[in-house]
Structure 1
Amino acid sequence: MPLFLHLKRSLNPWRRARWRLRLVLWGFAALSGLAVAGFAKGADLALAFFFALDRHWFWLPLIWTPFIGMVSVALTQKVFPGIQGSGIPQVIAATRLVAQGKPVQHLVSLRIAVGKVLVGLLALTGGFSAGREGPSVQVSASLVFLARRYLPRSRVLRPSDLILAGGAAGVAAAFNTPLAGVVFAIEELGRRLETRTSGVLLGVIIVSGLTSIALLGNYNYFGRITLHGLDYHIMGPVLVSGVVCGLLGGLFSRLLLWPQQGQAWGLWRWRQENPIVFAGICGVLIAVLGLLTHGLSFGSGYTLALPLVNGGVQSVPWYASPARFLATVISYYSGIPGGIFAPALAVGSTLGATLAPALGSHDLVPWVTLCMAGFLAAVTQAPITAALIVIEMVDGHRMALPLLAVTFLARAISAYFGPELYQQLALRFAEDRRDSGIRPTDSRKEA
């Protein structure tokens, strides 16, 4: 009799609805993990393709990079409006709009996910300084948001919860940093974590992350750092890295916000009227910069930062960090779909490798690690997320306190330059749908 009652209780409609909700969410979380893992593999192939071209024909980027930039922006403008840039501002705006009952298909949808991956990979074949980690946030949020169509009608989940969970899962799967994914959702995307949201968030992150691990392996994004001992001497690098990264990261954020806040400038008005030609000009600048720096400014910067973190390279040219800085800003101005997470980490790593010998240090690894976290924190003004991402990426738990110290210092200095980057960029998508590139015909189709 107890067994009968147990079976009867387990089959009541409410319990069936709960299990259906879980299974649907886990299924779409697995789909997002699959998409992020595929995006990562595709990004590796796209960059390898570009560098193969560059090795065989050093002059080819002068033609190829502008061409790819123009095609990418043309597809963004005419076929996949809403995929430009990182994707994180779109996800932030989507959580706000959907909470107001407004449509968000122009920011998170299957069309957006497909376009972000395809056009993002195309842009990487042009050697632009862009990453796939930020776009993974928009891709994952778009796919998890699709789950709302298949959830039981009695669901208690809000659409904004799905977008929030999907975006956090994108960070976790892209970097293999589950804790950073949770904190990113709190610190950057949603600014809150309610009881009913937390279970959904954790479940989606876990399933998405496990799917990515199954395909890519349980890896550290930048391997494991080797430290030769930490003592009070680390305070000097923390202070110097925090101040320098705060200043440069604040300048970087201000430059990225310039087109949005300086629309009175004729350059940005011309860019708005001629986006495809402007992308071609940016492609020429990227190609010239790459030729002048022997290719150091091409691509996401991962292959440049990896040996610095692992200690395999003991020096970089003085111009490596400025070149990465400029290439990332120009790539963002071009309007291609691409993130700034990996390029920002590359700027930080090369900055640390430049500061260390200049200040008499022969151990680059602590400086590289601190500057990666400091510069990312200064750019995003999300210090806890930046510290956790770097800790999990390099297995740097021994440096947890120095990394937290440098990120909070860098963030405090960067805040004097202006508002938070992603939150400010999200305004152009949240305030007016016309700013996302959607044309009237697109709006009618969505209705």
Structure 2
Amino acid sequence: MQQPDFVTALRRDLADWRQWVGRVVVLAYAAGAGLAVVAFTWLSEQALGGFFALRSWSPWLPLVWVPACTASLVWLTRRFAPGASGSGIPQVMAALSPMVDRERCSLFVSLRLSMAKILLTAGGLLGGLAIGREGPSVQIAAGVMQHAGRWLPERSAINHHGLLVAGGAAGIAAAFNAPLAGVMFAIEELSRKLEERNSGLIVAAIVLAGLMAVSAYGNASYFGEIHVGLLSWHYLLPGLLVVLGCGLTGGLFSRLLHTSMVGGQDYFSRLKHRHPIRFAAACGLVVAVVGLVSDGATFGSGYGYTRRLVEGHMDMPMLYVTLRLVATWLAVWSGVPGGIFAPSLAIGAGIGNDMALLAGMHEGSAPLIAIGMAAFLAAVTQAPLTAFIIVMEMVDGHAMVLSLMTGALGANLISRWISVPLYSALAQAQLCRLDAAPVQRESAAA
């Protein structure tokens, strides 16, 4: 194969103005997607702070406030933005399906849905629900990126599929301040491979969105840093038990979420179908009761407790893992917009902490907590490489890299024996909405 002539190749590349206009548009929208996630992060933090301020004013107020917020959010979602319900990742995956044309893509991803997702998810955190903002960030950023398509020149090499992949991955990169995790998420969940001709631009867009988060919050990891020294063989058995526990629990939790969200012919599924607002209020009431039992530990995404565990504070409420599982499950089942990434990391950290206490490792719990976070997130999402990278960027110590990778892959294997991949299954359920709404013109207005 003959090597290219530098001058000729440069001249040919610069002469293609469509290519350069497309690159500028994509990168500008990538920066906008990153800033949208930064704004969403700020609003979510303010909303969660507002809930805890209300709770400090009256500890019994959540018994009224949480069910009222849950019912209101479900009504608003069903009335004005049904495509904004749930995590948001299944919607982006559904929009990438060959079954979905450009006209109907707005059922799942659009600028209008991104705005609704920001407000509704923040409302859920204001209501104290055990939801995360990371999955919604995927749909928000994808909605911003797909809007770039209207400004691309004709016959541009950048297609709609590439914009959605770049946007979804940019959401993860900006939400976790981890561009590498965004790139892996694009490959592992959204697209099994990146198009060779656009892969460099897609990666650049993902990294740029992550840089927006860095510029706003500094080069700090999402939950702080886990300081790990040299690992000894004493961690082998507890670490294996953490992986086994996270794999089994995460697989069962994923199966429970899928069964609850897809629905069936059982009594509770029929009740949710007939009376969705009342059902949401009932879920909110139970979430409030669980929150009171846990002394507030299960309210919100779990960020505060996870960060305390990472920093070495092991004072968790009794049955924290079980209560947070119940609170997260009911919040998701109610139908409010919200994700499961942060709650899953909190549950995994709790499992690792419990195992460290059982093993008597009061001073060396950090490795087991890190393994638990990676393993449980991998088991629930069945995206082990993304889970491993998210936690890896928190760890200050190369000794944990292989342990985290092994834990994530092991828990993912166990989970696959129990449950189908959660996001793929929910994406298939999302595609059923195509029959109810064959054509939407929302994209023209968004």
- Specify the TM-score bucket, using the shorter chain as the normaliser: over 0.9
Sort the Cα spacing of 1:44 and 1:60 in 2 relative to 1 into closer, same or farther, 3 A.
same
* Number of the residue aligned with 1:331: 331
**Residue 388 of structure 2 is aligned to residue 387 of structure 1:** yes
Deviation at 1:394? 3.8
d(CA) in 1 for partners of 2:285 and 2:409? 37
Deviation at 1:229? 2.1
Instruction: Show CA shifts across 1:13-68 (max 9, x none).
Output: x2x21111111001100100000001111111111100111112001001111111
* Number of the residue aligned with 1:65: 66
* Number of the residue aligned with 2:354: 354
- Give the secondary-structure state (helix, strand or coil) at the position aligned to 1:229: coil
* Number of the residue aligned with 1:374: 375
- Give the secondary-structure state (helix, strand or coil) at the position aligned to 1:196: coil
* Number of the residue aligned with 1:162: 163
Sort the Cα spacing of 1:6 and 1:398 in 2 relative to 1 into closer, same or farther, 3 A.
closer
- Give the secondary-structure state (helix, strand or coil) at the position aligned to 1:96: coil
Sort the Cα spacing of 1:206 and 1:98 in 2 relative to 1 into closer, same or farther, 3 A.
farther
Deviation at 1:189? 1.2
**Residue 308 of structure 2 is aligned to residue 341 of structure 1:** no
The range that moved more, 391-400 or 118-127, is 391-400
Aligned residues of 1:253 and 1:421 also touching (Cα < 8 A): yes
Aligned positions, number? 437
**Residue 132 of structure 2 is aligned to residue 131 of structure 1:** yes
* Number of the residue aligned with 2:191: 190
- Give the secondary-structure state (helix, strand or coil) at the position aligned to 2:153: coil
**Residue 72 of structure 2 is aligned to residue 110 of structure 1:** no
d(CA) in 2 for partners of 1:86 and 1:214? 26
- Pairing of 1:21-170 with structure 2 (within 5 A): 21-97=22-98, 103-170=104-171
Sort the Cα spacing of 1:101 and 1:51 in 2 relative to 1 into closer, same or farther, 3 A.
closer
Aligned residues of 1:98 and 1:160 also touching (Cα < 8 A): no
Instruction: Show CA shifts across 1:345-400 (max 9, x none).
Output: 01111111111111222222111111011100100111111111101134454311
* Number of the residue aligned with 2:4: none
- Give the secondary-structure state (helix, strand or coil) at the position aligned to 2:338: coil
* Number of the residue aligned with 1:287: 288
Sort the Cα spacing of 1:274 and 1:394 in 2 relative to 1 into closer, same or farther, 3 A.
farther
d(CA) in 2 for partners of 1:239 and 1:340? 24
Sort the Cα spacing of 1:125 and 1:333 in 2 relative to 1 into closer, same or farther, 3 A.
same
Structure 1 unaligned segments of length 5 or more: list them: none
Aligned residues of 1:315 and 1:354 also touching (Cα < 8 A): no
d(CA) in 2 for partners of 1:201 and 1:446? 22
CA RMSD of aligned residues (A): 2.1
Deviation at 1:325? 0.8
Amino acid at match of 2:260: P
Instruction: Show CA shifts across 1:172-219 (max 9, x none).
Output: 110011111111111111122231231122111121111221122211
Aligned residues of 1:97 and 1:430 also touching (Cα < 8 A): no
Aligned residues of 1:36 and 1:139 also touching (Cα < 8 A): yes
Q: How many percent identity over aligned positions?
A: 44
Sort the Cα spacing of 1:57 and 1:230 in 2 relative to 1 into closer, same or farther, 3 A.
same
Sort the Cα spacing of 1:248 and 1:210 in 2 relative to 1 into closer, same or farther, 3 A.
same
d(CA) in 2 for partners of 1:8 and 1:374? 50
d(CA) in 2 for partners of 1:402 and 1:100? 43
d(CA) in 2 for partners of 1:319 and 1:403? 25
d(CA) in 1 for partners of 2:365 and 2:18? 55
The range that moved more, 388-397 or 348-357, is 388-397
The range that moved more, 199-208 or 254-263, is 254-263
d(CA) in 2 for partners of 1:397 and 1:414? 27
d(CA) in 2 for partners of 1:190 and 1:10? 27
Structure 2 unaligned segments of length 5 or more: list them: 1-7
Sort the Cα spacing of 1:91 and 1:7 in 2 relative to 1 into closer, same or farther, 3 A.
closer
Instruction: Show CA shifts across 1:146-197 (max 9, x none).
Output: 1110011021222111101110111011001111111111111112223123
d(CA) in 1 for partners of 2:50 and 2:270? 34
Aligned residues of 2:226 and 2:394 also touching (Cα < 8 A): no
* Number of the residue aligned with 1:399: 400
